[in-house]
Amino acid sequence: MKKFNKIAIVGVGEIGGSIGMDLRKKRLAKKVVGIGRRKSSLLKAKKVGAVDEITLSLEKGVKDAEVIILATPVFKIVELGRKLGKFAKEGAVVTDVGSTKGYIVRNLEKTLPKRVKFVGSHPMAGSEKGGPLSARRDLFKDRICFITPSPRTDIRALASVNRFWKSLGAKLVVISCEKHDRIVADISQMVHVVASSLVLSNKNSLKYSSSGLKDTTRIALSDPKLWKDICLTNEKEIVKSLDRFVETVKSFRSALTRKNTKGIRKMLAEAKSLRQGISQ
Amino acid sequence: MKKFNKIAIVGVGEIGGSIGMDLRKKRLAKKVVGIGRRKSSLLKAKKVGAVDEITLSLEKGVKDAEVIILATPVFKIVELGRKLGKFAKEGAVVTDVGSTKGYIVRNLEKTLPKRVKFVGSHPMAGSEKGGPLSARRDLFKDRICFITPSPRTDIRALASVNRFWKSLGAKLVVISCEKHDRIVADISQMVHVVASSLVLSNKNSLKYSSSGLKDTTRIALSDPKLWKDICLTNEKEIVKSLDRFVETVKSFRSALTRKNTKGIRKMLAEAKSLRQGISQ
């Protein structure tokens, strides 16, 4: 496969760092440059082998890069994406890893100069821990990566971004931003709200928790700064997902108050069977 | 420590089987007898080393047992508990592992003859898998085991049951049935309802699930027969827990619709900090 030239990663946390590690170990790029705001994070990323070079300067970092990956929280993706328009070379391909796509794609397509080609992406990977020390190899292997082209997307840039994620082993799902934001509200974003709500509504009993509650609320350990951005940029879809979920809880509640044995068993059995349909 | 004489385990699934394994490996009882309805399950329990002897006869199984453990779904615990009153020896200590205590303790205290001493217990352990092949050693080590004496509980029987669970390494929490049923509705039973509801309300997007949703809904894989009984015997407390949870979800929803950055971040941060307070 053709090697990428210089690749710049803006934000060397768990996702950015894991991308860099794979690129380097698989020798997919001639040079991987990590760009960040804090020297301490950049040094950690360098130490774990996620990048070849580090810099605090966006201008220096993205200069001459063939591919630029924005791997920061959502609002920062838009802010830094706008800035790098000035510095990126003619034909540079820019992508991101943000969990909300409509907001990011809309804003960056509006502001990036024509010579820079933006394509949104969202790899479904990463833990609640975050940070460069959580970066690891093969994080994206066999994981879904959504690619969200729009009518304005450059076809060659789309092909590059597809090739990029495929080379990291991801399973590509190419869909519109709108559809992405609906799906991810369902399977990820509203689930975070539910997990956090479970913790908050049970604060007095938490000390008795067993593994069930612990697993169910693990994602409530995620970074509030990161998730606040996600919540605020896809709030309409999250609210729709939550409303559907609350309706389901209410059906359950009603089966409980009516002591409806058949109804309760049916809901539990259907949930079990659907859950068995996805891997562990 | 004084060895128990014959111990009878009624129901040799994951919990009953794990109890038997520990008793045998730690040589805590002279003999462990497994009682069940299906020969196939009993043979599996024997094969994995969970019991010394097996029988399909409740009468034969509990005869001369010093301690009898009811480890079946809730309604069966009450049904079989009632039956064994005729067969158990004078002074036999009976306990159970059911997830709802008020219903079980109330019913068994009413019907068991005086010469049999019942004390309710509930070890917080076990997976969503169930069955004798899921039984394992040290399942109860460092796990909470609730013991729920009532004003009618025999003090010596209570001491025996405490000693029994301590010998398996459990951390005892001795509380009333009422308090137990409130706590466990919060941290376990309503969490099952929430996990199942998450699966049911997202059925169209499930195929895109990542590890977050998978962990959050793992307990939806539990046995519907077992959980139907639990739901039906503690429904009032589960409904109260669900109502409190839905209120919290609604506060979140309202922060989302008002794009209340501070409010969203505060809820996420508080949930994270509370969740950090319990171990992984």
Residues 6+ apart with CB under 8 A from A109: A118, A150, A152
Q: What integer pLDDT is reported at residue A2 of this predicted model? A: 76
> What confidence tier does B221 reach under pLDDT thresholds 50, 70, 90?
very high
**Residue B69 scores a pLDDT above 70:** yes
| Spatial separation of the C-alpha atoms in residues A116 and A80, rounded to whole Å | 14
Determine the number of helices (DSSP H) and then strands (DSSP E) in chain A.
Answer: 12, 8
Q: pLDDT tens for residues A53-79? A: 999 999 999 999 999 999 999 999 999
The B residues from 211 to 230 touching A (CB cutoff 8 Å) are 211-225, 227-228
**Does the pLDDT value for residue A237 go beyond 70?**
yes
In B, minimum Cα distance to A226 occurs at: B265
pTM to 2 decimals? 0.93
Nearest-CA residue of chain B relative to A280?
Answer: B214
Nearest residue to B95 (alpha-carbon basis) of B2, B168, B204: B168
Structure confidence at residue B128 (pLDDT): 85
Q: pLDDT digits over B189-216, tens only?
A: 999 999 999 999 999 999 998 888 999 9
CA distance B62 to chain A (A): 31
The candidate with the shortest Cα–Cα distance to B194, out of A193, A165, A189, is A193
Q: Across A142-269, where does the E strand assignment appear?
A: 144-148, 171-174
Using CA coordinates, name the residue in chain A closest to B272: A221
Partner residue facing B261 (CB), from A192, A198, A232: A232
- Give chain B's mean pLDDT: 96
Mean pLDDT for B52-65 is 97
For residue A218, which residues of chain B lie inside 8 Å, CB to CB? Answer: 212, 215-216, 275, 280
Measured between CB atoms, which of A191, A228, A274 is closest to B264? A228
In whole angstroms, what separates CA A117 from the centre of its chain? 20
**Residues 144 through 163 of chain B touching chain A, CB cutoff 8 Å:** 144
In this predicted structure, what is the pLDDT of residue A1? 62
pLDDT of residue B280: 56
User: Count of CB contacts below 8 A, A vs B?
Assistant: 268
Residue A196 and residue B257: Cβ atoms within 8 Å?
Answer: no
Q: What is the mean pLDDT of residues A163-188?
A: 97
Average pLDDT over residues B125-141: 93
Tell me, letter by letter, the H, E, C secondary structure of chain B. CCCEEEEEEECCCHHHHHHHHHHHHCCCEEEEEEECCCHHHHHHHHHCCCCCEEECCHHHHHCCCCEEEECCCHHHHHHHHHHHCCCCCCCCEEEECCCCCHHHHHHHHHHCCCCCEEEEEEECCCCCCCCHHHCCCCCCCCCEEEEECCCCCCHHHHHHHHHHHHHCCCEEEECCHHHHHHHHHHHHHHHHHHHHHHHHHCCCCHHHCCHHHHHHCHHHHCCHHHHHHHHHHCHHHHHHHHHHHHHHHHHHHHHHHCCCHHHHHHHHHHHHHHHHCCCC
Predicted local distance difference test score (pLDDT) of residue B127 = 87
Inspect the interface and report whether the beta carbons of B210 and A144 lie closer than 8 Å: yes
> So what's the pLDDT on residue B129?
87
* Residue B244, min C-alpha distance to chain A (Å): 6
Average confidence (pLDDT) over B90-104:
97
Q: Does B201 touch chain A (CB under 8 A)?
A: yes
Residues of A in contact with B274 (CB under 8 A): 199-200, 203, 206, 220
Angle at the Cα of A75 from the Cα atoms of A24 and B217, rounded to 5 degrees: 75
Interface contact B273, partner A, CB < 8 A? no
Average pLDDT over residues A134-156: 97
Q: Quick: pLDDT tens for B136-167.
A: 999 999 999 999 999 999 999 999 999 999 99
Q: What is the arithmetic mean of pLDDT over B240-264?
A: 98
Which pLDDT score, from 0 to 100, does residue B208 have? 93
pLDDT at A280 over 60: no
Whole-number mean pLDDT of chain A?
A: 96
Q: Which of B144, B212, B252 sits opposite A208 (nearest CB)?
A: B144
> Which residues of chain A have a CB within 8 Å of the CB of B261?
228, 232
Cβ-based neighbour number of residue A177 at 10 Å = 20
Calculate how close chain B gets to A178, using CA atoms only, in Å.
14
Backbone angles phi, psi at A45, to 5 degrees: -60, -40
Contact A275 B199 (CB under 8 A): yes
How does residue A3 score in pLDDT terms, banded at 50, 70 and 90? confident
Angle subtended at Cα B216 by Cα B214 and Cα B219, rounded to the nearest 5 degrees = 90
Q: CA-to-CA distance for B256 and A73, rounded, in angstroms?
A: 18
Are the Cβ atoms of B228 and A261 closer than 8 angstroms? yes
**Chain B interface mutation, best of A134, A142, A210, highest count of B Cβ atoms under 10 Å:** A210
Flag whether pLDDT at A93 surpasses 70. Answer: yes
